[in-house]
Amino acid sequence: MTYDPTGHLLLTPVDQEAPARVRRLRQLGLGERPEPAFDAFADRLAEVTGAPYSMVNFIDENRQFFAGLHTPTGLHSGADLGAAASSGAVSRYMDRDHGYCPHVVVRRKALVLEDVCDYPRFAGNPVVDEIGIRSYLGAPLIDRTGTALGTICVVDTEPRPWGRAGLETIKSLAAELVEQIHRREEGRL
């Protein structure tokens, strides 16, 4: 568990399923390289939600990998997402204790944060100060084996009123991407 030393809030949840997830991701050939189909899906996520940043994110024990990434510049590099970060570009990798996707994977439920600063548990996350994230909308990618492979998410540097419509949209798009992953797996069999 990771605690904020000042407030003792749990920042990053314990992820008991990480080893099984990594095995499943390797079996599927996911989470180790960017893929044009996932970049295209991230582009669509951004278009549908109107968010400047969107990701198809696979998570292992130590890090997150954006196999699909949309940024305002359209470069799929993530450099503009990390422009405000003191450590430089985020690229397609992020530490597991940064961001909100690890919470979504462990909870196995969608998460809507219209303004992350309204939630003490999430306001202290490093992405708030280092990158400037102010709102988040994400849903888990749970495959046919019951494994939470990762997430799809959208973020903004401004608060966003995602509402119930945003929640239903992100959940529907997550189900759509899981079906795409299943079709991909069936093509390999």
Q: What pLDDT is attached to residue 188?
A: 67
Which residues does residue 148 pair with via DSSP β-bridges, in sequence order?
142
Q: What pLDDT is attached to residue 83?
A: 41
Residues 65-91 have pLDDT tens digits of 999 999 988 665 555 554 433 333 447
42 pLDDT tier (thresholds 50, 70, 90) = very high
Question: Residue 43: what residue type?
Answer: D
Q: Which of 144, 146, 68 is nearest to 101 (CA)?
A: 68
Residues 3-29 have pLDDT tens digits of 445 454 546 788 999 999 999 999 999
Phi, psi dihedrals of residue 52, rounded to the nearest 5°: -75, -25
Beta strands 111-113; 135-142: pairing state: antiparallel
187 pLDDT tier (thresholds 50, 70, 90) = confident
Cα–chain-centroid distance for residue 114?
Answer: 15
Q: How far apart are CA 155 and CA 132, in angstroms?
A: 10
Answer yes or no: CATH 3.30.360.10 is held by domain 2-188: no
For the CA atoms of the chain, what is the radius of gyration? 15
Q: Which of 137, 127, 133 is nearest to 161 (CA)?
A: 137
Residues 119-173 have pLDDT tens digits of 888 888 888 888 889 999 999 999 999 999 999 999 999 999 999 999 999 999 9
Question: Residue 182: what residue type?
Answer: H
Which residues does residue 136 pair with via DSSP β-bridges, in sequence order?
113, 155
pTM for the whole thing? 0.85
Helices (H), 13-156: 18-28, 36-49, 101-107, 120-123, 126-130
